[in-house]
Each structure stands twice: as C-alpha cells, then as structure tokens.
Amino acid sequence: MTGAELANLVNEAALLAAKAGQQQVTMKDFSEALEKVQLGAARNVVMPEQERRRTAFHEAGHALLGMLQPGADPVRKVSIVPRGRALGVTLSTPESDRYGYDEDYLKGRIIGALGGMAAEEVVYDVITTGAESDLENATAIARQMVGRWGMSEKVGPVTILPSDGDPRMMGISDKMLSTVDEEVRRIIDECYGRAVDQLREHRHQLDGIVTALLDAETLDEPEIYAAAGIERPRTIPADQEPARATVPHP
Amino acid sequence: MTGAELANLVNEAALLAAKAGQQQVTMKDFSEALEKVQLGAARNVVMPEQERRRTAFHEAGHALLGMLQPGADPVRKVSIVPRGRALGVTLSTPESDRYGYDEDYLKGRIIGALGGMAAEEVVYDVITTGAESDLENATAIARQMVGRWGMSEKVGPVTILPSDGDPRMMGISDKMLSTVDEEVRRIIDECYGRAVDQLREHRHQLDGIVTALLDAETLDEPEIYAAAGIERPRTIPADQEPARATVPHP
Amino acid sequence: MTGAELANLVNEAALLAAKAGQQQVTMKDFSEALEKVQLGAARNVVMPEQERRRTAFHEAGHALLGMLQPGADPVRKVSIVPRGRALGVTLSTPESDRYGYDEDYLKGRIIGALGGMAAEEVVYDVITTGAESDLENATAIARQMVGRWGMSEKVGPVTILPSDGDPRMMGISDKMLSTVDEEVRRIIDECYGRAVDQLREHRHQLDGIVTALLDAETLDEPEIYAAAGIERPRTIPADQEPARATVPHP
Amino acid sequence: MTGAELANLVNEAALLAAKAGQQQVTMKDFSEALEKVQLGAARNVVMPEQERRRTAFHEAGHALLGMLQPGADPVRKVSIVPRGRALGVTLSTPESDRYGYDEDYLKGRIIGALGGMAAEEVVYDVITTGAESDLENATAIARQMVGRWGMSEKVGPVTILPSDGDPRMMGISDKMLSTVDEEVRRIIDECYGRAVDQLREHRHQLDGIVTALLDAETLDEPEIYAAAGIERPRTIPADQEPARATVPHP
Amino acid sequence: MTGAELANLVNEAALLAAKAGQQQVTMKDFSEALEKVQLGAARNVVMPEQERRRTAFHEAGHALLGMLQPGADPVRKVSIVPRGRALGVTLSTPESDRYGYDEDYLKGRIIGALGGMAAEEVVYDVITTGAESDLENATAIARQMVGRWGMSEKVGPVTILPSDGDPRMMGISDKMLSTVDEEVRRIIDECYGRAVDQLREHRHQLDGIVTALLDAETLDEPEIYAAAGIERPRTIPADQEPARATVPHP
Amino acid sequence: MTGAELANLVNEAALLAAKAGQQQVTMKDFSEALEKVQLGAARNVVMPEQERRRTAFHEAGHALLGMLQPGADPVRKVSIVPRGRALGVTLSTPESDRYGYDEDYLKGRIIGALGGMAAEEVVYDVITTGAESDLENATAIARQMVGRWGMSEKVGPVTILPSDGDPRMMGISDKMLSTVDEEVRRIIDECYGRAVDQLREHRHQLDGIVTALLDAETLDEPEIYAAAGIERPRTIPADQEPARATVPHP
C-alpha cells in the first residue's frame, strides 16, 4: 500500500466511525474500510432471485475450488453483494508474504479462477459471458507458466514471451508461438477438467456454501470453511511450503 | 444514460409538447423524444414502393427471428420509416436488467442480426449490401464467443482475443487465429442456416408482419406480436433465465 | 452536394452564361457547369488520331457493357475529350436514389469497370497500363463483396475486412486472407471473362459507339443508346429492382 | 517542368552563352543547359581507361537494347562523361506524348534497363554492383505489371499492390504476395534472357557503339543510330502505336 | 563506472565510516559501499526459515555450478540477505579484464544462470517462478550465440538478430527465426541437463554451501570455495584462456 | 571527407607537429593524424600476453586472407594496439578509386571479414564473441549480393531488399525472404570454408605475420607483405580490373 492509499483507508474508517456515532475508530471500522477500498462500495440494487442464486453458485465455485487445492491461499471472503461492476466477489490472500510460486500452486490458481465457469456448467449446464475476466486471469497465468517460467516441457526453460510487448518484435517465430498456444490450451484444459470434476465430486459442499451465501450475502473466512465443512488450514507446514522468489503475484 | 443525455431527452420532449401547443409535457412526448434520440429523427423521403416492401421484409426478418428464439429479449419496435442513414429499424431490449449471456442467448442474437439478410434471401433469393452492418454485429458476437467467452470447444476456455487491439501483439500464433476464424465461420453458418430455416417455416408470420408494417410503418410491441400471431412473452420464468454476469451488452 | 459545391456550381453556370453573352443562365449552362465540376475542365490538347481511336474503344467498352448488364445504372455520358489526367470518361448514374446493391448489380459494376481493358484486348489483343484505376475499382468492389457483404460461399456471411484499416490487427489469420484473395480472383476472372465474351458477341455495337464517339467526341444518354442500337431502359419495373439498403455507393 | 525549373533552365542557358562570350542565347545553349539540368554537371575526373571501356559497354548495352525493341522510345543520348554519382548515362524519351503502355513496351523497358548488366555479362562474364539501380528500375516495372496492371495470367486483372504503402495492411495474404514474387521473377528472367541473347546476336553493333563512345564520349541520337548501323525510327505508324492511357511514366 | 557512480561510492563509504564513528574511511568501508551500491541496501525483513532454506539452495546452485565450469569467472560472493526485490544473490566477476568469450565459457554462464532452477528441481523436485529472470538471462545469451556469434552449426556464421530491434524489419524470414528458436532451445536444454546432472553428482558440495549460507548469510570468495571443498582457481593459465574480443559482457 | 573532417585532420597533424617540437607539419604528421582519426587514438592498456597473441592471430587472419584473394584491395596496415573498443585492426583500401565490385571481389571481402574468426578456429579450434562485428559485415555484404545486386541464381536479377527499411512493407513474401536467407547462408558458408582452407594451407605465412605483429605491434603495407612472404600487388592490370559503377563501398 502506498502512503496515499493508507491515508484513504484511515479516512474511510474515520467516516464509518463518525456515521455510527462512535467517539473512536474501532478495528471493525478499519476492516470495513479496507473491504470498501478493495472491492468498491456496495451497490444498492435489488437482484432478481435467480441472478442471486446463479451468482452464489459462481462465487461458491471459486471459493470451494480455492479451498480444495492443497497449498492454495486461504479464502478470506465470499460475497454476492454487487459492488461496482461485479455481482459478487471471492477473495483469497496468502497466510504470510510469499516469495515464489510452484507449478502446483499456479495450477491451483487457474483452477480457482475457472471455478465460477465450472460451477455454472456443473449446475446449469451452461457457459456464460460472466466468466470473461476469469478466463483472462487464467490464460494470463498459463501463458506466463509456458512462456516465462519454464513450466512446459514442450517449450522448456526458455523465455519466449517478453514481460511486456510483442514477442515477434524480439524475433520469436510463429511456429514457436503456436507451440505456446498449444501448451497454454493443454494447461487450461487440464485445470478446467479438474475444476469440473472436483465440483461434481464435492457438489454437496458447493450447495452448502450457496445456501450460506444466499442467507448471509457475505461470508468471512471461518464461515466459508464452516459452510463447506472444510477444516481451515493451519499455517502451512514448512516442508510443504512451495517455493522461493521475488516474482510478483501474477 | 448520462446526465447530458437525460437533459437532451427532457428538452426534446418539451419541444414536442410546445410544437403540439400543449401546456404540459405528457408521457407520450417523452416516449417520442426517447425514440427520436435513440434512432435519429425521421427523414422526410418518399421511398419507392418496392424499396419499402424490401425494407419491410428485412426488418420483419429481424423481428420474427427475434421473437422466435427462446429466451431472447422482447421485440419492442419495428419501423420502416427512414431515420438518419437507416431505412428501417428493429429494436429489442431486455425485460429487466441482464447480467450475463449464455451461448443460446448469443446465438439467438446472431440469428436475429442475420434475420434481415436471411429474409431477403428467402423472399427475393438475393443477398444485398444492405446487410453489411448486420454481418459486422453478428461477426463481432461470434468472435467474442470464440475468443473471449470460451464458447468454442475447439478453442476452449482460453482468452485469444484482447478486449481491444491486436492479438498478434500478445504473441498469439497465426495457426490459433486460423482456428478462431474457422470457429467463427462455423457459428455464423449454423446461425444463418437456422435463420433461413425458421423464416421458411414461419413464412406466413413473416408476411403478416410485412403487411402490418407496410400499413402502419411503425409497430409497437403488442402490434408486432399480434401481427406475427405470437403470444408476448411473460416475465421470463426464473428457471429459464439464462445467466449471471457483469459483462456489458456485446 | 455540400453548400460550397452547390455555390461553385452556380458560379460556373453564371460564368458560362456570361462568356456566351447571355442575359440569363439557362438549364444548358447548369448542365455544362455540372459536367465541368464533376469531370474537370476539358484540356486543350490535340490527341494523335490513333490515341483518340484507342480511347474511344476503351470508353465504348465501359459504356456498352454498362448498357448490357440487366439492372445496371443507365449510361449518361461518354466522352473522349481529355479532362484533367483522364483521356476519356464514361458516366453512369442511377435512375433514382438506390438503397442497396445485390450481387448481380455489383458484378455488373465490375464488368463495366473492366470493360475498357476488355475492349483493348478484344480489339488490339493488348493489355495496357491505362486500365490501372479500373482494376483498382473492380478489385475494391470484389473485396467488399467477399469480405464485408457475405457474397462468397467459400467465406460465408462473415465480416473479414474492416471498413478501414488492417484485418490482421483484428486477428484475422493469413489463411483466411488467402481465401479472400482466391475468392476475389474468382469473381474478377468471371467478370472479366464475361466482359470479353459480351464485347466479342456485340462487336458491331461496340464499333457503332466508337464511330459516333470519334465523330461527336461526347455522347449524351440518348445518343449512346442510339449509337449502340439499344433501347433506353424504362424506369426499372418494381419486381426487378434489386435491393434495399443504406450502404453508400462502393 | 515547373515554372521554377523553366526559369533555372533559362538562367543556365544565359550563363553558357555569357561564358562563350556570345551576345545572344542560341538554341545550342538551351540544349546544353537542358542536358546539364537533367543529368547534373559533368564531373572533372579522369577515369582509368579500363573503367571508361567498361562504362562504355554498360551504356552501349542500355542503348543498343533500347534501339532493338520494337515500339520503344528512341535513344536520345548516350554518354560516358561522369556526372554527379553516375559514370555514364543513356537517355530515351518518347517521340511524342504517350498515354499508356502495353506489355511489350514495358518488357522492352525492362530489357533496356537490364542491358547494362547483360552487356557486362556478355563481354566480361561478370556481374557487378554497378547494376544496382538498374535492377531496382526493372523490378519496379515488373512488380507493377503483375500487381497493378493485370499483366500476369497467374495473378489476373486484380490490384494486389497499393500505389503506395504496404499490401499486407490491406489484407493481402502472404501466399498471394509469394505468387507476385514468382511472377516478377518470371518476367525479369525472361527479359534478362532476351537482353543477353540480343546482345550476343548483335555483338558487332554493341562494339560499334562502344568504339564511337570511347572516341566521342557523348553521342547524340543520329550518332548513336549511325554507330549501331540501325535506321532511326520514323514517327511510329498509327497501327503499331501501342496503347492509350493517363498512367504516368512508371 | 562513471564519475557520478564513483562519487556516489565514495559518499557511501564516508557515510559508513561516519556511522561507525571512525575518523578515517577504511578499505572495508569501500568494500561494503560497493556491495551496497551494486546490490541495493539490505532489507530488514525476517524470512520464514523454509524460504531462507530454499533461497540458500537456489543461490548455492548458481554458485556451485559457477565454480564447477572450467574457465568460468570466480564466484565472489553468495548471500541470502534480501536486498531490493531479490531474496538472494550470487556474484561472479572475471579475474582480470576479459576481451571475448568462447562457446564453452558462454555455456558455462548459461549453466550457472540455470543453476538456481536446477537446484530447486534437484532438491524439491519443483520449478518455481523464482527463476524468471535467470531464464531471461540464459535465453538472452543463447539467442546471441545463435543469432550474432555464429555458434550454431545449423545457422552458421551469419548475423540473424540485430543488436537491437526486430529481425523481421531487416527481412529475416519466419523459417529462419524458427531455426533460431530451435537452436536456442537445444542449447538451453543441453545446459539445463548438465546443470541438473552436475548438481546431482555434487549434491554433497551443494549441501555444504547451503549449510554455510544458512549459518553466515553471506559468504566471501574464500568461504564459498571452502564450503564447497573446491580449490580456488589460480590465475587462469595462458594456454586455457578462452578468447580475444571487444564484445561487451552479454 | 567533409570539410569539417578535413579541418579536423589538419588540426590533428598540427598538434602532432607541435608536440614533437617541429616548426613545420610534415607528411608523416598527416599520415599519423589520418590513422588516429580513422581508428581512434591508441589506448594505454597492457594486454595479457595470451590476449595479444590471440588478437595477433585474429588480425593476421584478416590480413593474410586479404592478401590471398586475387583482385582484392591491398592490405595497408595491421595493428594489435588497442584503439577505442577494438583490440586490433586490419586496414585495406583500393589502389585507386573504384567504381563497382564484381562477385569475386565481394566474396573476397567476405572471406577477409571472416578471416579473424577462421584464424581463431584454425589455431585455437574455438569460436568467440570477438567476431561479432565481422559477422555483421560479412552478412551485410552477402545480403546485398543476393537481394540487391542480382548475384544469386536462385533469386535472380531482382531487387528484394530495399536500400533501407523493411522488405515486407513493400510486399515481399516470407517465402522469398526465406530463399534470401538460404542464399546468404550458402554464400557465407562457401566463403567461411574457403577462409579456413586457405589459412590451413598458408599456416606458415599466418604464423609469420603473427610473429612480426607481436614484435612490432603495427605493420605497414611493405612489412605485412614481407612478413607473409607475398609480393606486393602491382597496379592491377587493366584486363583484370573487375567492374564499373557508382555504387558506394558496401
């Protein structure tokens, strides 16, 4: 967080405290202020019940898959309160600072990102435009795995994609880019298959989260794990911690 | 609508009321003002009868196919009054706010967009340049289905086309773009085939709308459905409502 | 026509009247002024007889093929008076406003555009650089037929070419562009073949126009049809009128 | 010629007359001034005899082939006086204004342009960098024949290359550009073969021009034709005059 | 070093001396100042033990492979103190000025660069995003070997890649770029294979460096070689010194 | 040389004369000044003996191959004194102004340019980065031979590469560019093979030049030919002089 963002956060918390007629800013004010800053303010729209339900399945798909991947960041919040342009949100953050990501962790991230789409397919047997930005996130991770992180055997430990800009400008051939496309497709297919399989297998838990979401609209970390009947992860044991690195969160 | 657009709308309504010598602005003035703002003012040209007839078939094609697709937005207005550069117009808007679109809905949109061209082929056995912007709309939806919304099995749930700009700049290979081209073609072909088939099958209803259009020039929602002999859709039952999402109308 | 163009036209007509010592501007002055504005002023060069003859065949080729295509715009004027950079000109304009063009009309336009080149081939068995801009016109129409108007079965009712700019920027593959190239070639070949065949078949009429052109230098609509021995088209009967649309003249 | 260029010409002629101590500017002054303006002033360098000889063969190759092609523009001047960056020059201009060029004339132009290179190959059996700009000229004509003037059967009467800029920007496929490359190669190969064959067959005339050039350094039109033993072309008979058109000299 | 960089270095050394309450700036102050300037200041973060361990293996991989390649630059420093964005660092500099690099030296550099990734694979059987910039370095060296230094038999002693910018702009074909891609892959694969093999073979030495690193956090040149049980290289004997040249360190 | 360059040269010569306490600027001052201006001032670095030796072989390779190619420009100077970024230099200039270059001369230039790399391979069996700019020079000549000077049978006397800029912009196909790549490779391979063969065959002479270079550091033309035991070329006899032209030194 920059200084300006921090100042904004303090202001928001003070405003919330003032609105509530409090003399002092409490931790709860800071927590709400942080949520508001991160997600945007809640929008005052009444969603059709069917939409709320579908949104609940979509977000529950993200959340459940996030909880099921070993070594993934804990799921902190799931909400079907519309905020800004989003109908819902699922938030995962690491237990502590992370310094690098291994292939399993990244595939877990892709599986989680595809969880909303997979849930809609499992429950409604339908794919919708609502997964557009989820696909963008999943594809971006997979392209970096293949083109920058050496995680495709077919491409090898070679940098193909520049951190920004056009790989053709660097002289990468169309044939190599086609191999990258194929490898990205392979990773995404594998992850999407796993997402659908896991949701089918854990359908009962998915329904549990949806029920809780429709009831409470927003679930905190303990509520999410309780709704899914999954034990909250302890601090990750040292011998399972994935990796080192200075790479920013993709 | 922005504030400026709203102000413009109010002005137009006031002008219409003043022209009609009214003391007060009525709901009808607002309705006419909205139409004028959305479609452009009616042009004062006398169309040759043959052109009027062809335009009527073209618009009736859009309208009838719009009414025949299950789950599609209701058809609100059809007109063969020339406005701006357009010889006619067909308007569909959703019953309530929509938050996402599934594959069937989008194919329905493509079928509707191709309806004018299909009607000309069915009735006159001829394809004309008049369908140019309809093809652009249909193609744009199909390309997003394939390249952004994961709705092609051959491409998979992978983002290929950036929301704006050149996919080659991102390193997408020519081979993958060729697959996208093929999938877009497949979707458009399927939709155009269905458009032609449905118009052939429902030719009687198409002729009914044309007769009404040539008579009245502009049809409101109840008149359109009446002319086609189709029952107006009730509020879409919850279990058929297609999908969730924050994706803007493509 | 813009206001400025109209003002220019009126000025030119007034000048012509003044030069002729007239008190009043007549309809003939307006007609000549319009011609001058549209085509550029006549140039005062003495063409070698052989050039005049060749130009006459070139323009007669445009004109005769323009008259032979069913549903084509009437030929209004043919001239072998050099104007600006052009050695001659053939002018066709629609009988009344047109709103759309079907495939036959557009192929007729291509045939007419290729008529100058075809006439030189039929008469002199030679192709010359003089057809350069005719080829550009014909190619531009054919590319739009294939890439924007859905008039190629091999490409289908899909938009491939943007109204301006580079189709590659939109992610169109090289393979698809190659298909467009092939379809454009097919259309042009078919039209050029028909142009040559029709000129061979109607060689007598071609010679008739050339004789009249060499004699009068400029032929008006009735003179052209008379020279070719072709009856002037009446107003196109309603059931043959090609199509509707708002598409501008390509 | 622009007004400024004309003024420059008159000045140069006046200067030459003044230098020669003349009271009046003669036609010869104008002629020399024109030559100086067109070719650049003669450079005061002493060329090695071997270079002069080679230059003479190079220019004589251009000149002889220019004279041997039926219907080509007459050769007006050949010189081995170094001017600007050029070691020699061969000048051809049409008898009268030309309005278009047919395939034979253009191939004649290519043959003439390749004549310097061909002469060096025939005489010295060696190809040198000295033909660089000749190849550029020949290639430019051939590319326009194929891509703009419809003179390749394999490409057809289709515009492939824009008058300026990049054909890929217009959506031309790589496959089509490869066909253009092949056709250009075919034309150049055919013309170069003819150039070599004709120089071998007319070696005696080539040597005659070289002898005259080494002696006089600059030959006027009558001297060139005399040296080659070729009759100067009369005004081209009407039935051989190639074509009509407004196309500028390529 | 520029003058400004030198001034900065002197300042830093003076600051360190002042902080330590010294009257004089010692050599040790300069050494620390240089390290700080080169690597960035140490960050005051407490790393999880597991991360420290993984970082130690990553850096030890770089260092051990750097020591094992014959003719490579000596390893000067290894550290697992986080500095700037880096969790650790391994520094190698040549014994004396070098003027050129041969193929073996460059492959040694690639092997060293891939040493961190290889160590993580050997020890944890996992590849992480932490090797991102190592892959970039290794790929950049390999691309220059193939495209600028003539070190690929398949490409030959030909310049394919410009020193900066896009090889396509120079007219290099996609097929040739594909050959470069393949050759780069071949080199990287060979080097990565050797990196993994050598670390497996010398696992005991790798563990030795890690133990020393976890204990001391930063190792100087003698400590590194001692920890690995490798004799420090003497000045490279003349008959093994690789090559001449003015090429900058890639 | 521009006027400014000439002025700079005179200044340098005057400075050298002044430094030497001379009253007058001698021819030797001009000669030294020219060398300094062309090559950069000598750098005051002590090279390791092994580097000096390798540099000597590299430069001797350039020089010997320069002397062995029939018709090549005489070698004027060889030096292993570091100047600017270069460790050594070999200078060849034509006996008199040249006006064009034939294929043999250009291949001789390529062979000479590759001579440094070839010498390192012959003597040390190693390829180094030191040949980077030599490869650039050799490749640039070969690309122009193929793409601009008609010296590849496979490409023919056709201009493929523009004098500056991107051949793709002109519509050259990737297939043709691939043919150019192959032809460039063929020429470079042939020349490199000849370079290695000639150095092996003339190894004794190579060693002779190296011995002289290590001793004297800089050799003038007579010393170079003496060291190699090669007779200095007389003025090239007229009937062997290669070609005419205005093409600048590539």
pLDDT of residue B194: 98
pLDDT band at B97 (very low <50, low <70, confident <90, very high): low
Residues F204-236 have pLDDT tens digits of 999 999 999 999 999 999 999 999 999 987 654
Q: What does the longest C-alpha to C-alpha distance in chain E come to?
A: 66
Yes or no, beta carbons of D246 and C128 under 8 Å apart: no
Q: Does E108 touch chain F (CB under 8 A)?
A: no
The closest of D225, D227, D246 to D72, measured between CA atoms, is D225
Q: What is the mean pLDDT of chain E?
A: 88
Is B126's pLDDT higher than 80?
yes
With contact defined as 3+ CB pairs under 8 Å, the chains touching F are D, E
Q: Which pLDDT score, from 0 to 100, does residue E214 have?
A: 97
Q: Is C35 a catalytic residue?
A: no
pLDDT in the model for residue A79 = 94
Residues of F in contact with D127 (CB under 8 A): 102-103, 149-151, 157
Task: Decide if E9 is inside a domain.
Answer: no
Provide, rounded to the nearest whole percent, the portion of chain C with pLDDT above 70: 92
> DSSP per residue over B49-115, as a string?
HHHHHHHHHHHHHHHHHHHHSTTPPPEEEEE-S-BTTBS-EEEE--SS-----BHHHHHHHHHHHTH
Say yes or no to pLDDT of E23 above 70.
Answer: yes
CB-CB neighbors (< 8 A) of D86 in chain F: 246
**Domain holding E106: CATH number?**
1.20.58.760
Element (H or E) spanning C121, and its range? helix C115-124
Q: Is residue E11 included in any domain, yes or no? A: no
- Tell me whether E247 touches chain F (CB under 8 Å): yes
Kindly state the tokens that stand for D9: 């010409």
Supply the mean pLDDT for chain D.
Answer: 88
Residue D243 and residue C128: Cβ atoms within 8 Å? yes
- Of the two residues D176 and E249, the one the predictor is more confident about is D176
Does the pLDDT value for residue F244 go beyond 90? Answer: no
Please indicate whether, in this complex, the C-beta atoms of A168 and E165 are within 8 angstroms of each other.
no
Are C102 and B138 a contacting pair at CB < 8 A? no
Whole-number mean pLDDT of chain A? 88
Please judge whether E135 and A158 are an interchain contact, meaning their C-beta atoms are less than 8 angstroms apart: yes
Does C118 map to a domain?
yes
In a domain, C29, yes or no: no
CA distance D166 to chain F (A): 5
pLDDT band at F54 (very low <50, low <70, confident <90, very high): very high
Residue A35 has pLDDT above 90, yes or no: no
Nearest neighbour of C130 by CB, restricted to D151, D247, D250: D247
Q: Is the pLDDT of residue B41 over 80?
A: no
Cβ contacts (< 8 Å) between D96 and chain C: which residues? Answer: 48
pLDDT score at B179: 98
Nearest Cβ partner of A243 from E120, E140, E192? Answer: E120
Q: Which residues of chain E neighbour A242 with C-beta distances below 8 Å?
A: 126, 128
- Residue of E5, E35, E51, E59 marked active site: E59
Q: Please report residues of B whose CB lies closer than 8 A to that of C103.
A: 126-128
The residues of A annotated with a catalytic role in the active site are 59
User: C27: pLDDT confidence band, cut at 50, 70 and 90?
Assistant: confident
pLDDT (tens digit per residue) in F111-133? 999 999 999 999 999 999 999 99
pLDDT band at A179 (very low <50, low <70, confident <90, very high): very high
- Per the model's pLDDT, the better-predicted residue between F105 and A13 turns out to be F105
Tell me the per-residue pLDDT of A89-148, one tens digit each, with 9 for 90 and over. 998 888 766 678 999 999 999 999 999 999 999 999 999 999 999 999 999 999 999 999
Distance from CA of D96 to the nearest CA of C (A): 9
ipTM of the predicted assembly exceeds 0.90 = no
| D61/A50: higher pLDDT | D61
Residue of higher predicted confidence among A72 and C240: A72
Could you tell me which residue, D39 or A109, shows the higher pLDDT? A109
pLDDT at A123: 97
D79 pairs with which residues across the strands? D89, D218
pLDDT tens-digit series, residues B106-120: 999 999 999 999 999
* Chain F residues touching residue D152 (CB < 8 angstroms): none
Chain B residues closer than 8 Å to A161 by CB? 171
A236, pLDDT greater than 60 = no
Nearest CA in chain B to C239: B50
> E242 or F58: whose pLDDT is higher?
F58
Determine contact: B46 vs chain C, CB below 8 A: no
Quick one: average pLDDT of F96-121? Answer: 92
Which of chain E's residues have a Cβ under 8 Å away from the Cβ of A169? 165-166
Rg (CA), chain D: 20
Whether the Cβ atoms of residue B75 and residue B221 lie closer than 8 Å to each other: yes
Task: Identify which has the larger pLDDT, C57 or C30.
Answer: C57
* D118 in any annotated domain: yes
Is the model's pLDDT at E228 over the cut of 60?
yes
Q: Given F12, F59, F120, F183, which residue is catalytic? A: F59
- F149 shares contact with chain D (CB less than 8 Å): yes
Report strand pairing: A218-220 vs A75-79. antiparallel
CA distance D62 to C147: 45
Q: Report yes or no: F113 at the E interface, CB cutoff 8 Å.
A: no
Average pLDDT on B56-78 reads: 95
CB contact under 8 A, A158 and E86: no
Q: Which residues of B are catalytic?
A: 59
> C136 in a domain, yes or no?
yes
- Whole-angstrom distance, CA of residue B115 vs CA of residue B109: 10
Taking residues B218-227, what's their average pLDDT? 95
Tell me the average pLDDT across F192-199: 98
Sorting pLDDT into bands at 50, 70 and 90, what band is E241? very low
H helices of E129-173, in order, are 132-147
- Is residue E247 over pLDDT 50? no
Mean pLDDT score, B144-169: 94
Percent of chain F with pLDDT over 90: 62
Task: Give percent of chain D with pLDDT exceeding 90.
Answer: 62
- Full domain range(s) for residue B75: 36-229
Are 3 or more Cβ–Cβ pairs between F and D shorter than 8 Å?
yes
Of the listed C32, C35, C51, C59, which one is catalytic?
C59
Q: What are the b/e assignments for B195-229, b being 16+ CB within 10 Å?
A: bbebbeebeebbbbbbebbbeeeebebebbbbbbe
DSSP label of A157: S
Q: In this predicted structure, what is the pLDDT of residue A235?
A: 54
Q: A247: pLDDT confidence band, cut at 50, 70 and 90?
A: very low
pLDDT at D120: 96
Task: List chains adjacent to chain D, taking adjacency as at least 3 C-beta pairs closer than 8 Å.
Answer: C, F
Question: Contacts of residue E136 in chain A, CB cutoff 8 Å?
Answer: 148, 159
The answer to whether position B241 is within a domain reads no
CA distance linking residue E158 with residue E171, whole number of Å: 14
Q: What is the pLDDT of residue D106?
A: 97
Query: Cβ of B149: how many Cβ atoms within 10 Å?
Result: 28
Say whether the E–F interface has 3 or more Cβ pairs within 8 Å: yes
- Percent of chain E at pLDDT > 90 equals 62
Q: How far are the Cα atoms of A4, B31, B41 from residue D172, in angstroms, in the given order? A: 52, 48, 40
Q: Which residues contact D28 (CB under 8 A, 6 or more apart)?
A: none
Q: Do F180 and E168 touch (CB under 8 A)?
A: no
Q: Is the pLDDT of residue E245 over 50?
A: no
- Whether chain A has a CB inside 8 Å of the CB on E105: the answer is no
Is pLDDT of C206 > 90? yes
Higher pLDDT: D88 or D7? It is D88
Confidence (pLDDT) at C46: 81
E235 band by pLDDT with thresholds 50, 70 and 90: low
Q: Given a cut of 50, is residue B99 above it in pLDDT?
A: yes
H-run or E-run covering A233: none
pLDDT of E97 > 70? The answer is: no
What pLDDT does F235 receive?
Answer: 54
Higher pLDDT, A96 or F148: F148
Which residue is listed with tokens 């920059």? Answer: A2
Interchain CB distance below 8 Å, F102 and D192: no
Q: Which residues of F173-193 are buried (b: 16+ CB within 10 A; e: fewer)?
A: bbbbbbbbbbbbbebbeebbe
Residue D57 confidence (pLDDT) above 80: yes
The answer to whether residue D34 sits within a structural domain is no
The per-residue pLDDT for E246 is 28
CB contact (8 A) between residue B151 and residue A180? no
Q: What is the average pLDDT score of chain F?
A: 88
- Asked if A218 is an interface residue toward chain E (Cβ–Cβ < 8 A), one would say no
Q: Pick the residue from chain E with its C-alpha nearest to F166.
A: E169
Q: Is C177 on the interface with B (CB under 8 A)?
A: no
- What mean pLDDT value characterizes chain C? 88
Look at chain D and report how many structural domains it folds into: 1
Interface mutation target, options B124, B128, B135, B154, chain C, most CBs of C under 10 Å:
B128
Q: Take residue A187 and report the two structure tokens written for it.
A: 């990773």
B41 and C CB contact within 8 Å: no
Given this model, what pLDDT does residue E178 score?
98
